[in-house]
Chain A
Amino acid sequence: MKKIFITFILSAGLFVSCTDLEVAPTSFVTEDNYFKTQDDAVASVNAVYASLSLDPGEQSLFGRNLYFLTDMGSDYAAAGVSATNPQVRAMSSLTHDATNDRVQVAWRQIYAGINRANVSIDNIPKVTGTEAVKTRLINEAKFIRGLLYFQAVRIWGGVPIVLHEPTSIELENLKTKRASVEEVYTQIISDLKDAESLPATYPATDAGRATSGAAKAILAKVYLTRKDWPNAIAKSREVINGGYGYALFESFGDIFNKAKKNGKEHIFSVQFEKNQAGNGSSGSTFQSTAFTGFTATEPADIISDVALFYDIYAPEDTRRDVSYAKQLLNPATGTLYTFPKPIFKKYLDLTNLATPGNVAINFPLIRYADILLSLAEAINEQGAPTPEAYELINQVRRRAYGKDINTPDPTVDLVGLTQTSFRAAIQEERKKEFVQEGQRWFDLVRWGTLVTEVKKVTAKNSVSERNNLYPIPQSERSINPDGLPQNPGY
């Protein structure tokens, strides 16, 4: 009997001594054991870029979510029958309010990206590695941070400026206050000026990273938005004459050609590759929402008014059939299918119609044509169009009409305009050039023509001056009502 008793005591005793309560995870990296090497720094900056193209469970920032604000909330784009989310429809009819989920998601995505940039900027200095590489990585993070604040300040006005990762979980330390528009721009310019020291080019395997040319191009847009014409002119000229090798593609369609990614016209593009978002998805949802197959079903993303935005193209203007498809070849039947209404086409990969959520077409965040038109706009705003300004807009027009870019062509070239009519010409050109490129709402707000232009579209006649800004998300204000006063009209 004693045996049993001893065995009992022994067996119980064995368990007592055998385990430790501190169990280290094996399935994920913790921040404590991170930021040791240069590889860690590189991976952290990869994640900063990924904030532009990936948001699990949501449509990514430049994969479509920002499009709701910058395009569907403008005049030419609307929500079709297939858009069943009432929040999206509200955006399309400009009846959205502060609880609109698309606005909240954009806010979250932008600040998540800013935080990732802050994490990199705060921690990269302490990793081992080459100083030059570390500096470059920090400046890449600053480029993205500046870029994101530039979106934020135009969408919401003065937004909170956050420049470091949170070090405490106390709410009081996490609360922020809206800064002035001026302060946000000062920060944007500071980040982008640092990013100007980025390399001008990268090896082909690193194509797609931010360059000094990209920093200067965004800066030019910043100055243009601020109506700082001399700086806008100076920065644009640096981009054009700085030896970066930027040029227009001869063919407008090449801008959205997978094979010509990160080409001479692409100054900075958000990269989309197959399976980038995992699970058979690239993170870009433009194709799946603009193309619903060869049926009469209206897609979710549609042109709001065919007469106002499709019929305006001259028949020779190649941009129309790159931006819109009235007809498409149905590979299954070998016949041309005619849509009841032209559908958006820029992000349609005709070789990949079967998996519309896995489309590897980049989003051209800023391209050379934009700089040419921006410089032309800035010059004109200083008084009158100059020969240089004419040449800039005419290069864009010649390419659009399939002419030689650098050879003057009286059939397409603009001549003899006043400042006002030149301004109108620029505005018309941008409308035709940047369909679905996240420019339209920013352009209309910059020109002060949002209400008059959007009102021309019957279904959008709810537009009012309040639509020159989007509302601060209600959920954010309910946590921090004092720091985040609402924009007028919401």
Chain B
Amino acid sequence: MKKNLKIYSILFLLLLTAGVNAQNTTPLIQSKLDGTIVDDVTNQPIIGASVVIKGTTHGVQTDAEGKFYFQTGQKLPYTLIISYIGYKKTEVIVDKNPVTIGIKEERQELDELVVVGYGSQKRKDITGSVASVPKANLSQVTSSADNLLRGAIPGVVVTQSSGRPGASSSVRIRGGNSITAGNEPLYVLDGILIYNDNNNSTAGVANAGATVNVLSTINPSDIESIEVLKDASATAIYGSRGANGVVIITTKKGTKGQDNISYQGYFGFQNVSKKLHVMNASQWASLRNDVQASIGQAPSFSADQIEAFKTSGSYDWQDAIFRTAAPVQNHQLSFSGGDEKSRYAVSAGYFQQEGIVIASDFKRISLRANYERNYSQNFKFGVNTNYSNSVSNGIGTNGGSSAGRQPNPLVVALYQPPVVPIRNPDGSYNLTNNPYATAINGIVPNPINDLENTTNETKINRILASLFGEYKITKKLTAKVAVSGDILDTKQNYYAPSTTTTGAGTKGLGSVGDRLVSSVLNENTLNYNTNFGENHKFSALAGYTLQYTEGEVVNAGANTFVNDANTYNALQDGVPVKPYTDAFESVLKSWLARVNYSYKGKYNFTLSGRADGSSRFGSESLWGYFPSAGFSWNITDEEFANNIKGVTEAKLRVTAGTTGNQEIGNYLSLAQMGSVNYAFGGTLYTGLAPTRLANPDLKWEKTNQYNIGLDLSLLDRKINFVFDVYYKKTNDLLISVPIPLTSGYASVLQNIGGVENKGLEIGLITENIKTDNFSWNSNFVFSTNKNKVVAIGNGVDQFFPVVPNGSLLQQQPVTVKVGLPLGTFWGYKTNGIFQTQEEVNTQPKINSLANTKVGDRKYIDANGDGVITALDKGNLGTSQPKFVGSFSNTISYQDFDLNFSFQGAYGGKIFNALNQQLEISTLGTNANVTLEDRWTPTNPSNEIPRATSSPLGIVSERYVEDASFLRLKLITLGYTLPKSISTRLKAKSIKFYVSAENLITWTKYTGYDPEVSSYEQNNLYPGIDFGSYPNSKTFISGLNITF
């Protein structure tokens, strides 16, 4: 492999040096022309438009006043070709001097070229479901590109796992197909195929916590356009990686014309959008007394003490974890331009965000260079490169013996009894004075100290580079060869000093880890385009691609440090722990083909397919085949449709096809032996034991998808309507099926079961008002998806995924059950509180609570057998919303523009595990203020049970909350300086803006934020909120200048 790459690169260089010389012409000076280019509607001059005399190579740019000037050998009249980004290419015959030419702004029209897999097509000819992210969405403030998809396109649901800077998110295109394998779409960045696997941003350092979003290595300011391929006709060309949809990202390229320098920058601050209501000292002291009483112990606090706490001695731990006005800033400097033969775009960006939780932040430096050159008439080559360096400090997880109930320092802070001081009188952190927590080596955990003093750093360096050459063999046949590389290096540094929860037990705990993943992709395609007469248009694509990926992981650690001076950079100063290394490689070989045929532009047919061979699968099934077919009918091109009033364009699309999903990780078909230690005679020996059962039949998941769509433009394209319905059925699902523990294993990975998704999508882009000074455009997006598990296989119709957390493990809040959607919560319905002993004696109880007392919670005996058992649990709803929608508006008035967008989701649920834990009364942790209303003989609450010292965590409808929300996601007000002023400042344009994000959220959800997923991209237990990093309100002001 490596040897071949070397040969290849030599050949590629050879290829670049071959070719022919360019032509040069010198015109005779005979005629002069003075002209001005203006916007057809606003009459504003257009700066930097390209004006070319047709039939020659003579071209100029308009200046800051939109003026141009020709001295040319051509005689009037001649034809000018005027082009400018965002405007229609215009040809005008000029017969007088001077001249003013108006050009029209380009709208979403059917002639527009749309990027599709391995090429582009006219929107009119497309059969598949392909949508573009509106330009307005691309200018949002975000650390990561996937957030730009949020609310932009029907059928795409983006859920951020938390509000942490650089947090990962999950992106679902038309619902999740897979139960345990990856559900993220495939990203194609300038032709480089990337699966957004957030495991690549962790080197496995213990206690480091949530991963960094890998897509945050791409600077969103560099993005020119994003296209989303949704149906099988569009995605089958990506075969075994197409099932979850494909997101094609194109970065900014230079255009022929004047060189531009532009600066974009903003500065802002963020605050936590909401705080939880936990008890103050007085409330908690009285709760603890009640807990003590429930176990027959004397009260801990006197009535006087409880009263005194109202004025002093109450400490707000939640407040201490948040920063106020955490700054965020971004600076982007770019140069772009081009001439007859070359185009370039170069940019440098710097993004920095401090988290709203202390000690967390994210910083990124990114560089990009895109270059393309027409080497000759037949040969073109180019290069796109991207480098980014990001550094992120996370909040980590909480080490220690009871970590299960305390997933991170944020949650620990909420649990802190409010009578415990945060700091000592001398200002240092309180590490001793807490009688309610376990001291480790004399250190009592203090989460604020943990956050402040633990190093938990993830540094990611990524290089993405692609090189391509395109050669026109004949007028109709083009060959393209591309080679690209993706190197992703993640270094993690962790150090918990001996004063922290995690480091106290071991006198400091340091570890470092590095993960290097590199991928080389070669793509070779042939493109053939021809017309048979006027009516038959035919094009074909064929190709072979190969992607080779390898990864290496190292991880080392030490503890028992003499002091906390050297930390993770001198592990040799401590006592080493067992190191860890890992390596993996995978190969994906593919053949791909696509044929398009169009009759009179009315009827369009597309056939496409891909054959993929993947090393990830079992020896019995290495190759998979993924075909698709699509048909579209431009109804308005039919004669009978000519007279339908108001209908400008109408197009019907019908497609069907098969795609696959290979995202299961490497080597999983093999039986793995894992190493363990045991000691004989005081010496450690290695033992090897099987940790996984083999499955040689392991293969891709297969999704069959059917789509019917209608594109409708009304009233001269003032109303543009896109409507799609689809049905997807995924079979051969990879499921880690729980098997009886008596086998010695907890689960085995198999291709069994199926999932179904069906849905409806509506996109509506309207031009509401358009006058000379005022315009209002809006974009309405609506989608609904119904997800259902249709089979799990093995005769099983339900299983409970193991949630990797001590307190949720056995509660089994989530189930996978045939007939229900993924992410269904499973638990008891409640029925108030036992008010009398009579009720306790006669009504059904959770039979394990042998000593049910008055004041305990009642659960509903669903099966009527007189006792409450696991059989009485039932469906409490799913985390998947019934529908999601967004409504974005752009209003401009003279030099002002206002953007605002609402986003919302309806019908989804969240299991609020944090609140469940906060409503468990213990002797040592704080509680939700709702427990103020706890049952007592004098307060016969029917909602909150009595205080006890050992209640179990029980999944009930109380903690499965409605996650519906409507949010004013973004509001931006911009002002562009009048030309007259900006010209005086020697700038082409200057724009100021202010913006607010997450300004208002309407929701019933009681946790921090209804858009949450503590287990990140996991599809088995989405929608669990166990103290995720809260969301923030962000206010920024920014400046864009172009010179």
Binding site for B on A (CB under 8 A): 1, 3-5, 7-8, 10-12, 14-16, 18-23, 25-32, 34, 40, 43-51, 53-54, 79, 81-87, 89-90, 92-101, 104, 107-108, 111-112, 114-116, 118-119, 159-160, 162, 165-166, 169-172, 174-176, 202-209, 261-262, 271-273, 275-280, 285, 288-289, 292-297, 299-300, 332, 353-358, 458-459, 461-462, 464, 473-476, 478-480, 489-490
Contacts and interface: CB of A to CB of B under 8 A. Distances in A.
B201 to A, nearest CB: 20
B977 interface: no
Nearest to A471: B848
B688 A29 contact: yes
Given A357-B506, A458-B296, A14 B746 contact: no
Contact of A25 (B469, B522, B667): B667
B217 to A, nearest CB: 25
A446 B434 CA distance: 42
Interface hub of B667, B687, B737, B739 (most chain A Cβ within 10 A): B687
Given A32-B670, A89-B922, A354-B441, 10 more contacts: A15-B8, A21-B589, A28-B667, A48-B687, A112-B744, A207-B681, A276-B684, A280-B557, A356-B441, A357-B505
Contacts of B681: 203-208, 262
B479 A8 contact: yes
B532 interface: no
B721 interface: no
A22 to B, nearest CB: 7
> What 3 A-B pairs are tightest by C-beta distance, nearest first?
A115-B744, A97-B848, A46-B687
Please classify how large the interface on chain B is, using the bins under 10, 10 to 19, 20 to 34, 35 or more.
35 or more
B986 interface: no
Contacts of B795: 171-172
Interface of B: 1, 4, 7-8, 11-12, 14-15, 18-20, 206, 295-296, 376, 378-379, 401-402, 404-406, 432, 434-444, 469, 471, 473, 479, 481, 505-507, 509, 522, 524, 544, 546, 548, 557, 559-560, 575, 577-578, 581-587, 589, 613-615, 619, 622, 666-667, 670-674, 676-690, 693-695, 737-746, 748, 750, 794-796, 798-800, 806-807, 809-812, 846-851, 870, 920, 922-925, 949-953
19 contacts: A8-B469, A14-B4, A43-B687, A84-B922, A93-B950, A98-B848, A99-B870, A107-B741, A114-B744, A202-B680, A205-B681, A208-B679, A271-B679, A273-B679, A275-B578, A280-B577, A357-B506, A476-B740, A476-B741
A40 B870 contact: no
B695 A44 contact: no
Contact of B559 (A23, A175, A280): A280
The DSSP consensus for interface residues of chain A is loop
A411 B616 CA distance: 74
Contacts of B739: 169, 171, 174, 479
B438 A23 contact: no
Nearest to A104: B810
A21 B432 CA distance: 59
A53 B746 contact: no
A358 B506 contact: yes
Interface hub of A14, A79, A459 (most chain B Cβ within 10 A): A14
Nearest to B558: A280
Contacts, number: 389
A296 B444 CA distance: 11
Given A11-B8, A46-B676, A99-B870, A82 B402 contact: yes
Nearest to B582: A27
A475 B589 CA distance: 41
B676 A293 contact: no
Nearest to B694: A31
Contact of A16 (B441, B544, B683, B851): B544
B670 A25 contact: yes
A354 to B, nearest CB: 5
B671 A32 contact: yes
Given A85-B807, A99-B870, A23 B585 contact: yes
Given A26-B583, A479-B799, A81 B678 contact: no
Given A97-B846, A206-B681, A459-B296, A354 B524 contact: no
A300 B401 contact: yes
Contacts of A478: 798-800, 870
Contacts of B296: 458-459
A31 B405 contact: no
A3 B17 CA distance: 10
B1016 to A, nearest CB: 18
Nearest to B613: A21
Nearest to B693: A169
A380 to B, nearest CB: 34
A421 B820 CA distance: 63
B796 A20 contact: no
Given A4-B18, A21-B615, A50 B11 contact: no
Contacts of B743: 111, 115, 162, 166, 174
B798 to A, nearest CB: 7
Contacts of B577: 275, 278-280
Given A169-B750, A289-B401, A29 B673 contact: yes
A169 B923 CA distance: 46
B7 A14 contact: yes
Given A18-B1, A165-B744, A479-B738, A299 B438 contact: yes
Contact of A30 (B582, B673, B683, B689): B673
Nearest to A83: B402
Contacts of A272: 679
A47 B615 contact: no
Contact of A19 (B12, B376, B439, B587): B587
Contacts of B674: 28
A278 B688 contact: no
A82 B406 CA distance: 13
Contacts of A166: 693, 743-745
B401 A288 contact: yes
Interface hub of B619, B689, B925 (most chain A Cβ within 10 A): B689
A353 B582 CA distance: 34
Contacts of A86: 807, 920, 922, 950-953
Given A32-B670, A93-B950, A490 B848 contact: yes
Contact of A3 (B18, B671, B847): B18
B684 A273 contact: yes
B557 A279 contact: yes
B695 A169 contact: yes
Given A205-B683, A478-B799, A23 B432 contact: no
A32 B690 CA distance: 11
B683 to A, nearest CB: 7
A356 B314 CA distance: 33
Nearest to B686: A43
Given A32-B670, A479-B796, A280 B849 contact: no
Contacts of B613: 21
A465 B583 CA distance: 54
A95 B442 contact: no
Contact of A356 (B406, B440, B479, B614): B440
A272 B679 CA distance: 7
